[in-house]
């Protein structure tokens, strides 16, 4: 009789159990992975649907009357000191009613900046209450610029309306940087606006940089300046409270020449300035007087002393 040890069959039993356990585990894992994929797919559909719902809801809300600008009163304006709020409203390129969704704030700002009296504009949407907010920085006209054959003595408001068909005659406004603004557009924008008292004749585009410097000097002068005649580049002529003054070509000497003119304030006490054609300051060290009806200019009265080193006033 042959006796076989039972231990020889144990490994086969263990192998059978391991194979059975592995197949069961794999099946369970497959089921788990399928459930996880289905759940992720449902989450993806849910998120997509939620986002589409929110987007659609926002579009629907913005098209409702509550999100539509019905009238110009829903546009607030800040920063204006020269122009009225009504004048700014008249410049806005908006057809009412208009949905906030379809308004482009940057395009509106660019359009406003293209208008003469506005140097910089910022436009933002306002949701509660619905509307627009406009912040502007204005251009301040400091002088009336007359070019071509327009008359400097005519009523500028009337002339502005008549000159549209005359392209050779141009009357406009300039700010301290020399930026040109159409006078007719400026007057039409707000007829109550007052025009600058200073007139500039004949200034050309290439003289804009010089104008900025010249205007700063004029602002610092205590003398009243009424007109700047730049039609002859070789001779800058000013109309002042002392009369007409010739300065020669504009240069770095101009501030000193204007100081010499200020030292001649006592001139009307010594001569009849009504008989003067002009004061010649082309050589500020030796000012001359050109009287009406004379050919040769005469020197300053001795009582005025040296304008650059005036005599002290008597006690």
Structure confidence at residue 69 (pLDDT): 87
Beta bridge pairs of residue 69: 98
Structure confidence at residue 20 (pLDDT): 55
Nearest C-alpha neighbor of 207 from the set 249, 155, 165: 249
Q: How many residues does the chain have?
A: 315
Structure confidence at residue 13 (pLDDT): 46
Q: Do the Cβ atoms of 200 and 231 come closer than 8 Å?
A: no
In the chain, CATH 3.40.50.11690 covers 143-304
Structure confidence at residue 21 (pLDDT): 56
3 state DSSP class of 256: helix
Structure confidence at residue 312 (pLDDT): 41
pLDDT averaged over consecutive 10-residue blocks of the chain (315 residues)? Answer: 52 51 74 82 82 76 71 92 89 88 91 88 89 93 80 51 48 90 78 86 89 94 94 94 94 94 87 87 91 81 59 39
Q: Which residues make Cβ contacts (< 8 Å) with residue 69, sequence separation at least 6?
A: 75, 94, 96, 97, 98, 99, 100, 103, 130, 131, 132
Pick the CATH number of 66-138 from 3.10.20.310, 3.30.70.640, 3.40.50.300, 3.30.160.270: 3.10.20.310
**Which residue in the block uniquely carries the two structure tokens 């069959």?**
9
CB atoms within 10 A of CB 86: 11
What does the DSSP 8-state code read for residue 293?
Answer: T
Superfamily in which the 143-304 domain is placed by CATH: Cell division protein FtsQ/DivIB (3.40.50.11690)
Q: In angstroms, rounded to a whole number, what is the distance separating the alpha carbons of residues 237 and 234?
A: 10
Structure confidence at residue 308 (pLDDT): 54
Structure confidence at residue 294 (pLDDT): 82
Structure confidence at residue 60 (pLDDT): 67
In the chain, CATH 3.10.20.310 covers 66-138
With 0-12 CB in 10 A as exposed, 13-18 as middle and 19+ as buried, what is 212?
Answer: middle
């Amino acid at each position: 009789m042959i006796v076989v040890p039972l231990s020889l069959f144990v490994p086969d039993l263990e192998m059978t159990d391991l194979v059975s356990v592995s197949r069961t585990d794999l099946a369970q894992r497959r089921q788990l992975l399928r459930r996880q994929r289905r759940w992720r797919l449902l989450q993806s559909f849910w998120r997509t649907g939620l986002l589409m719902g929110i987007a659609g809801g926002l579009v629907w809300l913005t098209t409702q009357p509550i999100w539509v600008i019905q009238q110009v009163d829903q546009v607030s304006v800040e920063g204006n000191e020269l122009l009225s709020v009504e004048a700014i409203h008249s410049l806005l390129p908006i057809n009412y009613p208009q949905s906030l969704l379809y308004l482009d704030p940057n395009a509106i700002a660019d359009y406003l900046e293209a208008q003469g009296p506005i140097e910089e504009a910022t436009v933002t949407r306002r949701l509660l209450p619905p509307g627009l907010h406009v912040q502007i920085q204005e251009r301040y006209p400091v002088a009336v610029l007359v070019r071509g054959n327009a008359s400097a003595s005519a009523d500028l408001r009337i002339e502005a309306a008549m000159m549209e068909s005359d392209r050779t005659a141009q009357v406009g406004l300039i700010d301290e940087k020399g930026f040109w603004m159409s006078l007719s557009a400026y007057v039409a924008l707000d007829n109550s606006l007052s025009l600058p008292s200073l007139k500039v004749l004949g200034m050309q585009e290439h003289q804009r940089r010089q104008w900025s410097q010249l205007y700063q000097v004029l602002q610092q002068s205590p003398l009243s300046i009424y007109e700047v005649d730049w039609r002859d580049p070789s001779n800058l002529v000013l109309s002042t409270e002392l009369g007409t003054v010739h300065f020669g070509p504009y240069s770095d000497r101009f501030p000193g020449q204007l100081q010499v003119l200020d030292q001649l304030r006592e001139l009307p006490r010594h001569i009849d300035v009504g008989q003067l054609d002009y004061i010649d300051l082309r050589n500020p060290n030796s000012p001359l007087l050109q009287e009406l009806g004379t050919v040769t200019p005469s020197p300053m009265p001795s009582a005025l002393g040296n304008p650059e080193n005036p005599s002290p006033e008597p006690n």
